[in-house]
Amino acid sequence: MPSLKEFRTRIASVKSTQKITKAMQLVAAAKLKRAQEAAEAARPYGERLAAVIANLASAVQGDGAPRLLAGTGKDGVHLIVVITSERGLCGGFNTAIVRLAREQIDALTRAGKTVKILCAGKKGRDQLRRTHGALIVETLDLSGFKVINAAAAALIGDRVQALFAEGAFDVASVVFSRFRSVISQIPTARQLIPAVAPEGVAKPDLQGGVYLYEPSEAAILDSLLPRYVNGQIFSALLENQAGFYGAQMSAMDSATRNAGDLIKKLTLRYNRQRQANITKELIEIISGAEAL
């Protein structure tokens, strides 16, 4: 049986851990709010760009279509961009993303394709290195960015497009976590290259007019597609960021609650032990008195 002093130190240490997890939970909640606002603010750009791309993609078809849209005509080599967080303490958030990435990689490998992995985020690389280390071609470090902005997305997007221009892969997709709510983040895979024109986008009503293109449809599409790819990555990053803080918040919340339960249990045992000691002393005194 541990002594009373040991109990006291143990309770004090759990209490200070609880304070830390509580603080982290509050910080994550505040950051989650900011991340959600950022995702909200970024939505108009993505929607407008998607509408324009859908519109142009239907106009430019066949041989004249840019390679980012048409692809290389093969699908032998796949690049998978795995977006995870830079930091941990967020429950199973990164593990869920990595699990989906692994499933995809294994399915592609079984189908006889070559797979290359590009990791954005330290945690994903650490987990993938053990099983698929040989397939990782590059890791991009985003910890230098205080907030996820368009420049961070461009860092990934430009690298992916440079690899595509070199002919390093045929198909690229991104694996990240979609933010549904604070308690629910869904690991999602989305194809990046060849760019998929979104469906179900309403065409603008031209009221009988015909679009003028400056310089030309193909040239506009050419200049927009790289932005579209970067935009897709940007939205994935923002969703991921919001999901990360959501996961961290609920992980820290349950950690705080666990610490509370532990403190209760320890306090109970501490009091029992103290009572037992008192009883024992009393018995000793009484039996000593009786012996006289």
Partner 1 sequence: MADTLHFSLVSPEREVFSGAVQQVVVPGTEGDFGVLAHHAPLMSTIKPGLLRIFTGEREVRMFINGGFADVTPAGLTILAEDAVDLAQQDAAALEQQLQSAREELAAAGQDAPRRAAAQHALARLTALLAAFRAQ
Residues that bind partner 1 in the complex, under the rule CB under 8 A: 38, 41-42, 44-45, 48-49, 52, 56, 149-150, 153, 155, 158, 204-207, 209-215, 217, 219-220, 223-224, 227, 230-231, 234
Minimum distance, C-beta of residue 68 to partner 1, in the bound complex (Å): 15
Q: List, by residue number, the catalytic residues.
A: 90
**Closest CB to partner 1 among residues 231, 246:** 231
CA dist., res. 246 & res. 231, Å (int): 22
CA dist., res. 243 & res. 61, Å (int): 37
**Closest CB to partner 1 among residues 112, 215:** 215
200: left (phi over 0), alpha (psi -120 to 50) or beta: left
* Core vs surface per residue 13-46: b (16+ CB within 10 A) or e: ebeebbeebbebbeebbebbeebbebbeebeeeb
Non-local CB neighbours of 93 within 8 Å, separated by 6+ positions: 84, 85, 177, 185, 243, 244, 247, 248, 251
**Closest CB to partner 1 among residues 205, 290:** 205
Minimum distance, C-beta of residue 234 to partner 1, in the bound complex (Å): 6
**Could you tell me the maximum CA-CA distance found in the chain, to the nearest angstrom?**
116
For residue 77, the cross-strand partners are 114
**Closest CB to partner 1 among residues 121, 157:** 157
Sheet holding 77-83, edge to edge: 136-140, 114-120, 77-83, 171-181, 184-193
